[in-house]
Amino acid sequence: MEKNLGQKIAIVFAALSYLAAAGCAVAAYLQPGTGYDPIRAAFMASVVFFVGSGIVLHVIGTARLKGILSSAPTGDKPDSTG
């Protein structure tokens, strides 16, 4: 099934979100210091945010919308029986 433009864009941004999450995870791992560091905590919070955003965008991009978008609501169709 062919995806519309919005779904293709959502897939691209999902991939970018996953890459940003990986980058933040690497940055958190390489952050110097020991113990509780607010910069490391911010990087890890960013990992959670980017992974969550990527999952949502991935689901939006892969949803089957053909029946939802292509058919008119049933209340708007005229009755053909007379």
Tell me if 57 is assigned to some domain. yes
Angle CA(16)–CA(38)–CA(32) in degrees, nearest 5? 85
Look at residue 22 in the predicted model and tell me its pLDDT. Answer: 98
Contacts of 39 (CB under 8 A, 6+ apart): 31, 33
Tell me if 13 is assigned to some domain. yes
Tell me if 77 is assigned to some domain. no
Tell me if 35 is assigned to some domain. yes
Per-residue pLDDT tens over the stretch 24-67: 999 999 988 777 889 999 999 999 999 999 999 999 999 887 66
Cα–Cα distance measured from residue 8 to residue 12, given in angstroms and rounded to the nearest whole number:
6
**Number of domains within the chain:** 1
Domain that holds residue 21: 5-69
Tell me if 82 is assigned to some domain. no
Tokens of 51: 């992974």
pTM of the full structure: 0.74
Tell me if 40 is assigned to some domain. yes
Q: Which helix (H) or strand (E) holds 52?
A: helix 38-62
